[in-house]
Structure 1
Amino acid sequence: MEKIRVENLTKIFGKHPHKALEELKKGKNREEIFNQTHHTVGIGGVSFSVFEGETFVIMGLSGSGKSTLIRCLNLLNKPTDGKIFVDDENILDYDKKRLRQFRQDKIAMVFQHFGLFSHRTVLENVQFGLEVKGMEKEERRTKSLEMLKAVGLEGWEDHMISALSGGMKQRVGLARALANEPEIILMDEPFSALDPLIRRDMHTELLDLQAKLRKTIIFITHDVNEAFKLGDRIAVLKDGEMVQIGTPEEILENPANEYITNFIEDIDRSRVIKAENIMRRRVLKIGRNTSAKIALEILTDSDFDHGFVTDRENNRIHGVVDADDLLRAIKEKLSIEAVMHTNFVAVREDTYVKEILEIASETKYPVAVINEQGQYVGRIQRAALLKSLV
């Protein structure tokens, strides 16, 4: 379901932005408009949608307009032109009272430099939004402690902000945003000031929280690996314009232009590509109770070297066989179960290539792919695994 829809959004900085807007609509670019009017086009004619419960990452280099854009979504920046629909309501039509309710109840923001009150304790920082809303003291304490536990800061509620590391401060900022139970969370480069190891921990923390809470998150970053790790979909901005929107896999496989190609050149593909993206969906299944002779005919009539042995009831894998195993079974009058090998590797559809590479060396057989119910849905040959990295 569409949660946010942005239509032709433009933000121009300067004393007379609408004069510059006229030049933008004539097709002039950012540089031409600045030289002519001394106005800066932060974003120009940007359109996109964000679905409920997804993490939508806006990625771009410094000066691309990404922070300008995210601040338009809660009207910290007042757009020069365009529309912003949230649940089919254009928030640009809100009066002051309605806008205040929108900011208090529906949307929250996590800032790059934490935005915490140094004179308040951890708990008091998290409670701040609830206090503004007029929530009773005990209720806001209970809610805030719950959020601190969710972000891994249980027991730190009475500490002052100065006693916390950078990663812990950002956890406080996240807990404060979550305490208001917003439907939408805006995150403006929240982890860019953190050390690499702490950033990695925060990525894991955010992914775990999102799996539980399914908030609509708009996340800003200039780090392509961060974008591809966290984003369900990614939008790439350049000079205030949207260049491409797609899933990480779509952007990797079909970059829109040379700029995107260069942008993603150094990305670690093993952390982006999943089993479902490279598996072969046409699977060869051999029933546990199939005779070895029939199984051999099935195998030799296919283009597979191995067949996974499954049961008919729930399509779960029990082992793997090749032609030599089946010939032995025929010769010695054995069942398929007696000759099958059980040291195969099976991974879920959403397993990243990096993880598959680490375990694929444990077996000489193709990697089996299973769904959430444990059913056999595909296989990955070693060649496909290596091809995915280039």
Structure 2
Amino acid sequence: MTLPTFDMKPVSPGATHPAEAGGTRETAVEFRDVDIVFGPRRKEALAMIDAGATRDQILAQTGSVLGAAGVSLTVHRGEICVLMGLSGSGKSTILRTVNRLNEVARGEVFVSHRGGLVDVSRCEQNTLRDIRMHTVSMVFQQFGLLPWRTVRENAGFGLELRGMSAAERNRVVDEKLAMVGLTAWADKYAHELSGGMQQRVGLARAFATDADILLMDEPFSALDPLIRDKLQDELLSLQKSIHKTILFVSHDLDEALKLGNKIAIMEGGRVVQAGTAEDILLRPANEYVAEFVKHMNPLNVLRGTSVMRPVEHLPRVDGAVLLDRDGRVRLELDPDNRPLSVRIDGREGRLGTAEGDGARLAEPCDIIVAPVDLKLNVAIGLKRQSDHAILLVDQLGRLAGLCDDDEIYRCLLRRSEP
């Protein structure tokens, strides 16, 4: 039996999104040892940072506020990187260095611009203006809409500043308004829109500039939970087509785990852990991070790469892969290690492929074949349809591992490798 391959990028252990997969990834934003200090005695404050002083100690001795200390972080093109932490942790402070709304005391902030990396913390004003106009766009928490302008006029404000003609501007804006579902509201004013709709105008305005990098500073935090959840879903759906690099500030761990290819958790102006949602959930770097994630439900975060028993750990007899402890279920692989056929208690079994998001089966079968980045909650749904382990395969259809009840229970109970 020939099974289809899955249309996804190679996924390495711990990866949660295609953008986190293996291969060469282009840098979009990079922070290198960034220190930010607000106040009059910066030199003294920087010396205290080097000595390991805390934010409170620096404030008490110098009167200066530590905004960030030693922040190093790389965001690759097409990633959604969520900066998260408690109020005052420094996440918005770091975000605003990307378009130099905040000045850096020490360190470098590189942005991919016109084919190269530019240090926005030191570039000349003309270059900074060009970056702000064409490469980096920002979506604010409080929408930032001009009340005397219509939805269409607000969404096209950045293009107007560029000097784009009205006809071309309206063509671009109407396309972006359609993208966020606001075509019928183009001639309305901000006060005629709900909070969620106003936030969509902010998104359309950012999309209209066609900037490669979007900065989103808690854009959904002022919205009701149901609206916030809907806009999160819409952002993820849009990202599949626009493929932007997004730096997203949030204090909500559920939101961070839902949206982020990469998550950077901040405390006291410092990044205490950065990685995928799976990394942080399974391997918290310290007690602060562990406290953050201890009440998280892993079902929507963990994927097959964290759950599965890798193919190299599966026993083999006469070339067949044993899928159970008793050797009753035996899988034959083709020369490229793709599942070929299965025998159950000596009889021919049926292999079937999970379709779409992995939750549906094309036809009844004995053994389910699913993509290796299958989410744990989907895996549980599939397991209800089969008495046997799920075969997890890579983007070329090659066997990567299997997921059975033991693997699911282990992750639910321990959230760590055995």
Deviations 1:116-147 (A, max 9, x none): 12222111111110001001111111111111
Q: 2:140 aligns with which of 111, 134, 138?
A: 111
In structure 2, what is the equivalent of residue 332 of structure 1? none
Instruction: Return closer, same or farther for 1:388/1:339 CA change in 2, 3 Å cut-off.
Output: closer
Instruction: Return closer, same or farther for 1:123/1:271 CA change in 2, 3 Å cut-off.
Output: same
Give the 3-state SS of the residue equivalent to 1:72 in structure 2: coil
Give the 3-state SS of the residue equivalent to 1:73 in structure 2: coil
Q: Which amino acid aligns with 1:381?
A: D
Q: Which amino acid aligns with 1:358?
A: G
Instruction: Return closer, same or farther for 1:208/1:298 CA change in 2, 3 Å cut-off.
Output: closer
Deviations 1:188-246 (A, max 9, x none): 11111122222221121111222222211111111112111111111111001111111
Question: After the TM superposition, which of the residue ranges 306-315 and 203-212 deviates more from structure 2?
Answer: 306-315
In structure 2, what is the equivalent of residue 77 of structure 1? 102
Q: Which amino acid aligns with 2:202?
A: G
Confirm whether residue 165 of structure 1 aligns to residue 194 of structure 2. yes
Confirm whether residue 387 of structure 1 aligns to residue 407 of structure 2. no
Could you tell me how far apart the structure 2 residues matched to 1:339 and 1:77 are?
Answer: 57
Q: 1:24 aligns with which of 49, 53, 73?
A: 49
In structure 1, what is the equivalent of residue 74 of structure 2? 49
Q: How many residues align?
A: 372
- Equivalent pairs: percent with the same residue? 37
Note the 1:188-203 alignment, pairs <5 A: 188-203=217-232
Instruction: Return closer, same or farther for 1:22/1:136 CA change in 2, 3 Å cut-off.
Output: same
In structure 1, what is the equivalent of residue 260 of structure 2? 231
Deviations 1:137-164 (A, max 9, x none): 1111111111112223232212222222
Give the 3-state SS of the residue equivalent to 2:309 in structure 1: coil
Note the 1:90-129 alignment, pairs <5 A: 90-129=119-158
Instruction: Return closer, same or farther for 1:299/1:93 CA change in 2, 3 Å cut-off.
Output: closer
**RMSD over aligned Cα atoms:** 2.8
Could you tell me how far apart the structure 2 residues matched to 1:301 and 1:46 are?
Answer: 47
Instruction: Return closer, same or farther for 1:301/1:365 CA change in 2, 3 Å cut-off.
Output: closer
Could you tell me how far apart the structure 2 residues matched to 1:246 and 1:195 are?
Answer: 28
Deviations 1:272-326 (A, max 9, x none): 101222122328799xxxxxx989x8759976542346777993566x5422xx1
Confirm whether residue 367 of structure 1 aligns to residue 390 of structure 2. yes
Contact 1:285 1:307 in 2 (8 A): no
Could you tell me how far apart the structure 2 residues matched to 1:339 and 1:84 are?
Answer: 51
Note the 1:1-390 alignment, pairs <5 A: 1-87=26-112, 88-282=117-311, 299=322, 304-308=327-331, 315=338, 320-323=342-345, 326=346, 329=347, 336=348, 342-372=365-395, 376-390=399-413
Instruction: Return closer, same or farther for 1:153/1:139 CA change in 2, 3 Å cut-off.
Output: same
Superposition deviation, residue 369 in structure 1: 2.1
Contact 2:154 2:201 in 1 (8 A): yes
Could you tell me how far apart the structure 1 residues matched to 2:269 and 2:174 are?
Answer: 40
Could you tell me how far apart the structure 2 residues matched to 1:126 and 1:165 are?
Answer: 16
Could you tell me how far apart the structure 2 residues matched to 1:338 and 1:263 are?
Answer: 44
Could you tell me how far apart the structure 2 residues matched to 1:362 and 1:95 are?
Answer: 61
Deviations 1:348-386 (A, max 9, x none): 222211122233212211122234455554321111112
Could you tell me how far apart the structure 2 residues matched to 1:368 and 1:339 are?
Answer: 9
Superposition deviation, residue 26 in structure 1: 3.3
Instruction: Return closer, same or farther for 1:11/1:339 CA change in 2, 3 Å cut-off.
Output: closer
Could you tell me how far apart the structure 2 residues matched to 1:152 and 1:358 are?
Answer: 32
Q: Which amino acid aligns with 1:278?
A: V
Could you tell me how far apart the structure 1 residues matched to 2:277 and 2:334 are?
Answer: 35
TM-score, normalised relative to structure 2: 0.81
Instruction: Return closer, same or farther for 1:6/1:294 CA change in 2, 3 Å cut-off.
Output: closer
Instruction: Return closer, same or farther for 1:349/1:168 CA change in 2, 3 Å cut-off.
Output: farther
Q: Which amino acid aligns with 2:404?
A: Q
Instruction: Return closer, same or farther for 1:354/1:122 CA change in 2, 3 Å cut-off.
Output: same
Could you tell me how far apart the structure 1 residues matched to 2:90 and 2:382 are?
Answer: 42
Q: Which runs of 5+ in 2 are unaligned?
A: 1-25, 353-363, 414-418
Could you tell me how far apart the structure 2 residues matched to 1:222 and 1:171 are?
Answer: 20
Instruction: Return closer, same or farther for 1:136/1:376 CA change in 2, 3 Å cut-off.
Output: same
TM-score, normalised relative to structure 1: 0.87
Larger RCO (alpha carbons 8 Å, 6+ apart): 2
Give the 3-state SS of the residue equivalent to 2:183 in structure 1: coil
Contact 2:315 2:322 in 1 (8 A): no
Deviations 1:231-264 (A, max 9, x none): 1111111001111111111222221111111111
